[in-house]
Amino acid sequence: MRREGWASLGRALLLGSLVGSALVVGAVQWVFQGELRAEDYAPGLDSLRIEARDGRLLRESVSATGARREYVSLPEMSPLMIDATIAVEDARFFDHHGVDGRAVARALVQAIGARRVVSGASTITMQLAKLVHARHRRSLSAKLDETVEALRIERRMSKAQILEQYLNRAPYGAGAVGVEAASRRYFGKSSRNLSLAEAALLAGLPKAPSELNPRVAPEKALRRRQTVLERLEVTGRASAEDVARAKREPLALSAEHTEGVGMHFTELAIERGKGLGANGGVLHTTMDLDLESEVEALVAEHVATLRAHGLTHAAVVLIDHRSCEVLAMAGSAGYSEREGAVNGAIALRQPGSTLKPFTYALAIEKGYSPVTVVADIPTRYGEVDGPTFAPKNFDGAFNGPLTVAEALARSLNVPAIRAAGFVGAEVLLAGLRRFGFTSLTEPAAHYGLGLTLGNGEVTLLELTEAYAALARGGVSCAARVLDAESTVAPTQVVSPTTAALVTHVLSDERLRTLAFGRNSVLGFDGEVALKTGTSSDFRDGWTIGFTDKVAIGVWVGDFGGRPMDHLAGVTGAGPLFRQMVETTRRRLKPGPLPKIDGLEQVEVCAASGHQAGEGCPLRRSIVTRRAQVSDEACPFHRALRIDLRNGLLAGESCAAEHVSKRVFEVLPPKFAAWQAASGNTPPTRYSPLCPRAHTAVGGLMVDRPRSGETFVVEPGYPAETQAIELGALVESAPESVSWWVDGVLVAEVGYPYSVEWQLAAGRHRIEVSSGEVTSAPIHFEVR
């Protein structure tokens, strides 16, 4: 070849080498200067795990990709899991830069010799690239793409970051993506707590997740585990002794979780979790899973027993009122039952009489006491020329005068309306909202005084929270279902003394027998405070209360609003409430309800609320402040001299053989109609068979108050509650008498000729007159 030819060839080779070098350099620069898309390697949203208070799985909602996934950092994983993965997937992981040349050469030689693929050459980094970009095709171009991406990954990430990404993205079967989800799915524990055998089993699954699923193919999974353990020993990542021990370890999978228990509870937890920004990860609830399971079974059993009476569903809420944590919540007779997906714990229903304790608590705050006397007599409320209503008691009867304690214990409607009127509709509504009844959103005028009888709509959860507040000494209790929920700053809704007074009434077994009789399903050996309620037409039955540790709420009824067959709160909800008390007491050692200093049990007259005298036929032992009981003898029960010949009053001049002393109930004027209807009216005329007495002028005499008596105006109590009765003894039966105080006419009244007069400080003179006849004056003092 001529010299020119050699020169041309040389120039061509040089140019080719330069071009080739430039291409190689360009390719290298293209690989290493290419950027990774940050969003491709972001952790992404996890699936959402809802766990009981002890960490057991309650429910798991899949992530946006449809997988169960929980991203954890590398330090949170067991080193055994990391070693097992490296040993079986990429033993030279720390020695290459994304592509393992030795592995590629080995795989190529084996494939040529066997004329099939014997071993793979993909590194962990290459597998990560494949997982991130979800490539499923097995072509040369796909492998080239993975190789390029692996080189870029190694350039941009540390080995620890690569391992963390891979272990959180690898598929482990049964819908579990990532080692944490797999560990919980198969072994019921976090990946940080895996044994060597468990780690080896999981590390072997990504090769064929479906085929090696240990729940479906345990033999295959165990054979794969053996392979991984052998690789751990060969690569020096585990000792021969540890490997031998791990090979002998039996496959112990956790019980497979089946969703069903606590569905209403977890739905509420998920809803509240959204408010905390929890769209993935783990929600730790306050649920006691064993207690929840027992509660749901008891609810289903109870509904089945009473279904023939129109009771189709029931709901229960249990709150630890010391921490305000919800321990259990059953929203229906069964989530899969007809209408069972409705959560009765948060459904709006009419509460019947269950709001009465709060009405009386607010009334006590304003001046009532457990021994305050309220009138259970026919009363009409409303505007002149406007709509009116006349409340009636459940049994349709009226009981006359009785104490607040008895009125509440017997759940009487008329006294409750009277207490609500004393409090005021606006104050009542505001107080109920402070107790936690946020569902009462209408203005006070919408509900009126009937709110105390349950004409509004509240939830079982709100009711249980409110009763928990009573158990906490009047301190509000915003129930929590999640550990992460911030504790709402509690407020003192009513004073500790008021809460204690109401609690004593609700827990008094003797008072409770007045409402339910002896041997009631709601009779307890220990101290349990409770209240029942029934809405109109028996559409809802309630029993709400608390022990020393747990507030218990029970509702029964029908979600469609269909009436039950005369099932009231005590008969419909009471038996289930009793089961809840027994269940929680069995799990939590029972104790006494909290006490407060300054209260004592006092025996009072059931009608007057004063200290019981010899003539009082009915007595009640009521816990109250001693100062709230008047030292004055009972004014309602008096021993009157009766002429045995005609039953009329006997004057002082009547012969002893014709006179007998008998006790009569002498009531204030407002009870006159009720007393007349009951046939228990004392005589007011003097017997004409007796010589005329000289103690009365013209047959008239002031009988009450007595001359020389002194009365005291109690500071801090409403003026309208501090009054005395003006009573007369009348020989004839005039249509009316006139009452004069300090020469001023204060009232004209008919039979039985008595009236209440509001106390005013000073010395006073009282006279009673009829026509032209005026009694002798009596004098007394008010301080």
pLDDT in tens, 657-684: 999 999 989 888 788 889 888 887 888 7
- Arithmetic mean of pLDDT, 20-48: 58
The superfamily in CATH containing domain 67-248 is: Biosynthetic peptidoglycan transglycosylase-like (1.10.3810.10)
Integer Cα distance of 385 and 391 in angstroms = 18
Q: Which two tokens stand for residue 226?
A: 């053996």
Instruction: Give residue 603's pLDDT.
Output: 93
Instruction: Give residue 65's pLDDT.
Output: 56
pLDDT tens per residue across span 162-192:
999 999 999 999 888 999 989 988 998 999 9
Q: Confidence band (pLDDT; 50, 70, 90) for 117?
A: very low
Instruction: Give residue 257's pLDDT.
Output: 64
Supply angle C-alpha 103, 108, 112, rounded to 5: 150
Q: Is the pLDDT of residue 138 over 80?
A: no
Q: Examine residue 752 and say whether the peptide bond preceding it is cis (omega within 30 degrees of 0).
A: yes
Closest to 121 in 3D by CA, of 103, 146, 140: 103
- Arithmetic mean of pLDDT, 41-70: 76
Q: In this prediction, what percent of the chain has a pLDDT beyond 70?
A: 86
Q: Which CATH number fits domain 635-782: 3.40.50.720, 3.10.129.10, 2.60.40.10, 2.60.40.420?
A: 2.60.40.10
Provide the CB-side half-sphere exposure for 663 (13 A, CA): 10
Q: Confidence band (pLDDT; 50, 70, 90) for 278?
A: low
Q: Which two tokens stand for residue 660?
A: 């007998």
- Arithmetic mean of pLDDT, 537-545: 96
Integer Cα distance of 728 and 684 in angstroms = 8
Give domain limits for the chain.
67-248, 635-782
pLDDT tens per residue across span 187-226:
989 999 999 999 999 999 999 999 999 999 999 999 999 9
pLDDT tens per residue across span 752-766:
788 889 999 899 999
Q: Is the pLDDT of residue 106 over 90?
A: no
Integer Cα distance of 588 and 616 in angstroms = 43
Q: Is the pLDDT of residue 136 over 70?
A: no
Instruction: Give residue 88's pLDDT.
Output: 95
Instruction: Give residue 66's pLDDT.
Output: 55
Instruction: Give residue 698's pLDDT.
Output: 57
Out of 96-100, 109-113, 475-479, 741-745, give the one with best mean pLDDT.
475-479
Helix ranges restricted to H, 596-742 = 672-678
DSSP 81-129: HHHHHHHHH-TTGGGSSSS-HHHHHHHHHHHHHHTS--S----HHHHHH
Provide φ and ψ at 151, rounded to 5°: -65, -40
Q: Is the pLDDT of residue 400 over 90?
A: yes
Which of 121-125, 258-262, 310-314, 504-508 has the lowest average pLDDT? Answer: 258-262
Instruction: Give residue 274's pLDDT.
Output: 79
Instruction: Give residue 162's pLDDT.
Output: 94
Instruction: Give residue 694's pLDDT.
Output: 41
Instruction: Give residue 140's pLDDT.
Output: 61
Instruction: Give residue 680's pLDDT.
Output: 79
Higher-confidence position of 18 and 731 = 731
Instruction: Give residue 258's pLDDT.
Output: 59
Average pLDDT along the chain: 87
Higher-confidence position of 26 and 159 = 159
Q: Confidence band (pLDDT; 50, 70, 90) for 615?
A: confident
Q: Is the pLDDT of residue 366 over 80?
A: yes
pTM of the model: 0.74
Q: Is the pLDDT of residue 27 over 80?
A: no
Instruction: Give residue 242's pLDDT.
Output: 96
DSSP 527-579: --EEEEEE-GGG-EEEEEEE-SSEEEEEEEE-TT-PPPSS--IIIIIHHHHHH
Helix (H) / strand (E) element for 282: namely strand 281-284
Q: Is the pLDDT of residue 32 over 70?
A: no
Instruction: Give residue 594's pLDDT.
Output: 86
**Lookup result for tokens 């004063």:** 610
Q: Confidence band (pLDDT; 50, 70, 90) for 6?
A: low
Integer Cα distance of 370 and 32 in angstroms = 85
Integer angstrom CA distances of residue 261 from 50, 51, 314, 558: 12, 12, 16, 21
Integer Cα distance of 575 and 596 in angstroms = 30
Total H helices, total E strands in the chain: 22, 28
Q: Is the pLDDT of residue 11 over 90?
A: no
What one-letter code names the amino acid at 744? V
Q: In this prediction, what percent of the chain has a pLDDT beyond 90?
A: 57
Q: Is the pLDDT of residue 148 over 50?
A: yes
Which of 128-132, 374-378, 695-699 has the lowest average pLDDT? Answer: 695-699
Q: Which two tokens stand for residue 487?
A: 């504790």
Integer Cα distance of 55 and 769 in angstroms = 82
Integer Cα distance of 290 and 267 in angstroms = 18
Q: Confidence band (pLDDT; 50, 70, 90) for 606?
A: very high
pLDDT tens per residue across span 557-575:
999 999 999 999 899 999 9
Instruction: Report yes or no: 365 and 494 within 8 Å, Cβ to Cβ.
Output: yes
Instruction: Give residue 218's pLDDT.
Output: 94
Q: Is the pLDDT of residue 629 over 80?
A: yes
Out of 82-91, 252-261, 638-647, 696-705, give the one with best mean pLDDT.
82-91
pLDDT tens per residue across span 697-750:
557 888 888 888 888 887 766 676 688 889 888 766 677 888 999 988 889 888
